[in-house]
């Protein structure tokens, strides 16, 4: 029975609970049992709050029994990336410098999840401070891909992706600064969405790069992702970058799933060379399926996309060097060398030396250099100009097409350790996802089958204009339906059982 429960979609779990066929306590216990059975091998979670999760589930059941009106996802379990503040629950950002830190408040999206009646199972593993594409940069050890435990689940939200792929949670929350939701989704055969920048509150997200960070959902179906996205979306006065505008109906778009007449643009610069043959084959196949459903598929150009990676790796480190300055051992978190004989500056230096990992230090140094006197205009200033050009490229493209598509990642899941000592090779994993963050537009990764050469999941990325997130769900649901009709299953149902 527990195995049956953990393989149900979130929408089906919610319906079963609303009908009285299941209780939230049963559903939560089944997922906690699944975590106990497999997470020692997967390491998706850094902290499991079993007692609190079961208490929340019982409260939901009691309120439902008393006739209280419940949200559409009430009682459904969810996992939360460890970069998102959860009141009095450890929030480490995958770093030793925050080991054991318990925030005094909830992030806005956590508050919304609680108010909607979802049950938080725990906090998921991640690359330290969201810096990485493999979850190998976590100070607490790597997460493993449920499809092949010798491979990475992607990053930085690898724990959130792996938890959903391994049936440890039906839903999870991640963050995406340059692809950190979409790339892990592609590598684990799950659905991952980066909303429009400002469409979901960033209040309570521990900042990496404030002009790029965005929280979003992981799920096993497009409809499940739409339901969670609607829970967390909306204006937040606590976030100065939050957009004060109505959220389009994402669930309605997912349920429609019709692409007849929808204009789909293929990015000429982000296909073919540099992409694994199996990835390219599944991508082309998916486009044919969309065309068979009435979509109008045409090639477009994003002429400045080739500069996106270089611009991103100047903008992100610059903002991270500023945002991470607060971690100094003086106010919270780790404090090293505080024996009374050292100065404050010595304690700060020792704390950062012991608390930050190699990748974090690398990016802080890159960013500090790029912002330094005499180099700001040549590096950071130029990168921002490239960012503007990329945003204009997208604006021009969306005058001709409704959505833009690319492969999500250039390869399937790579082996643990394979790219760890080659930062540039690691950075190239995000070549197709970074442009959406620079432009502030929404993006989704949908699983489109398995690569022939290794049998691992492949993702297709859909991008839409800002605040047109509903288009992602419309096209994503249509593609999901077409793939099911063609293959007779979805990718995640074929994942190896742990």
- The phi-psi region of residue 272 (left if phi > 0; otherwise alpha if psi is between -120 and 50; otherwise beta) is left
Q: Do residues 389 and 304 touch, judged by C-beta distance below 8 A?
A: yes
Tens-of-pLDDT digits for all 498 residues of the chain?
677 999 999 999 999 999 999 999 999 999 999 999 999 999 999 999 999 999 999 999 999 999 999 999 999 999 999 999 999 999 999 999 999 999 999 999 999 999 999 999 999 999 999 999 999 999 999 999 999 999 999 999 999 999 999 999 999 999 999 999 999 999 999 999 999 999 999 999 999 999 999 999 999 999 999 999 999 999 999 999 999 999 999 999 999 989 999 999 999 988 777 899 999 999 999 999 999 999 999 999 999 999 999 999 999 999 999 999 999 888 888 888 777 768 888 888 888 899 899 999 999 999 999 998 888 889 999 999 999 999 999 999 999 999 999 999 999 999 999 999 898 899 999 999 999 999 999 999 999 999 999 999 999 999 999 999 999 999 999 999 999 988 877 767 766 667
| Strand ranges in 185-306 using DSSP code E only, listed in sequence order | 191-194, 215-219, 263-267, 296-300
- Residue 156 designated active-site: yes
d(CA 399, CA 465): 10
pTM score, whole prediction: 0.96
Return the residue matching tokens 């998706």. Answer: 44
Both tokens of 430, joined, read 């995000």
User: H/E element holding 222?
Assistant: helix 222-232
Q: What span, in angstroms and rounded, lies between the C-alpha atoms of 440 and 437?
A: 5
Contact 296, 410 (CB under 8 A): no
243-252 long-range Cβ contacts below 8 angstroms, 24+ apart: 243/196, 243/198, 243/199, 243/467, 245/467, 247/199, 247/469, 248/467, 248/468, 248/469, 248/470, 249/470, 250/226, 250/469, 250/470, 250/473, 251/223, 251/226, 251/227, 251/473, 252/470
Q: Which residue of the set 180, 201, 242, 321 is catalytic?
A: 180
Which DSSP letter does residue 269 get? G
Q: Which residues touch 107 (CB under 8 Å, ≥6 apart)?
A: 84, 85, 86, 201, 203, 204, 205, 215
CB 418 within 8 A of CB 165: no
pLDDT tens for each residue of 344-364:
888 888 888 998 999 999 999
Q: Which one of the listed residues 24, 133, 138, 156 is annotated catalytic? A: 156
Domains and CATH numbers, the chain: 2-304+389-494 (3.90.1300.10), 306-388 (no CATH)
172 a catalytic residue: no
180 has catalytic annotation: yes
């Amino acid at each position: 029975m527990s195995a049956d429960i953990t393989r149900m979609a979130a929408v089906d779990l919610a319906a079963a609970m609303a009908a009285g066929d299941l209780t939230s306590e049963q559903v939560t216990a089944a997922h906690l049992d699944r975590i106990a059975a497999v997470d020692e091998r997967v390491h998706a979670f850094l902290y499991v709050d079993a007692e609190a999760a079961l208490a929340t589930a019982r409260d939901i059941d009691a309120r439902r029994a008393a006739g209280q009106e419940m949200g559409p996802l009430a009682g459904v379990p969810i996992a939360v990336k460890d970069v998102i503040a959860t009141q009095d629950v450890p929030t480490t950002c995958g770093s030793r410098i925050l080991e054991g830190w318990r925030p005094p408040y909830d992030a806005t999206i956590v508050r919304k999840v609680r108010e909607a009646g979802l049950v938080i199972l725990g906090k998921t593993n991640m690359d330290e401070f969201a810096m990485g594409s493999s979850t190998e940069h976590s100070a607490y050890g790597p997460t493993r891909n449920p499809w092949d435990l010798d491979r990475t689940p992607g990053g930085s939200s690898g724990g959130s992706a792996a938890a959903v792929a391994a049936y440890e949670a039906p839903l999870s929350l991640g963050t995406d600064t340059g692809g950190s939701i979409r790339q892990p989704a592609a590598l684990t055969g799950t659905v991952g969405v980066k909303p429009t920048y400002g469409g979901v509150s960033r209040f309570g997200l521990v900042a990496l790069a404030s002009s790029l960070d965005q929280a979003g959902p992981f799920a096993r179906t497009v409809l499940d992702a739409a339901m969670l996205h609607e829970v967390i979306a909306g204006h937040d006065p606590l976030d100065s970058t939050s957009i004060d505008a109505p959220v389009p109906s994402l669930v309605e778009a997912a349920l429609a799933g019709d692409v007849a007449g929808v204009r789909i643009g293929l990015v000429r610069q982000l296909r073919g060379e540099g992409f694994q043959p199996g990835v390219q084959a599944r991508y082309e196949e998916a486009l044919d399926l969309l065309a068979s459903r009435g979509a109008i598929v045409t090639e477009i150009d994003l002429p400045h996309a080739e500069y996106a990676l270089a611009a991103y790796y100047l903008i992100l480190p610059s903002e991270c060097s500023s945002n991470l300055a607060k971690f100094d051992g003086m106010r919270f978190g780790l404090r090293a060398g505080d024996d009374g004989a050292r100065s404050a500056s010595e304690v700060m230096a020792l704390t950062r030396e012991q608390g930050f990992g190699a990748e974090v230090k690398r990016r802080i140094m890159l960013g500090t250099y790029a912002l330094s006197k005499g180099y700001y205009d040549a590096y950071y200033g130029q990168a921002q100009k490239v960012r503007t050009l990329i945003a204009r490229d997208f604006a021009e493209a969306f005058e001709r097409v409704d959505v833009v598509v690319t492969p999500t990642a250039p390869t399937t899941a790579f082996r643990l350790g394979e790219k760890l000592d080659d930062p540039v090779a690691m950075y190239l994993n995000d070549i197709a996802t970074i442009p959406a963050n620079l432009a502030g537009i929404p993006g989704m990764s949908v699983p489109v089958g398995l690569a022939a050469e290794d049998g691992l999941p492949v993702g297709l990325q859909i991008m839409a204009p800002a605040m047109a997130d509903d288009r992602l769900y419309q096209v994503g649901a249509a593609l999901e339906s077409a793939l099911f009709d063609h293959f007779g299953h979805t990718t995640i149902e074929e994942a190896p059982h742990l």
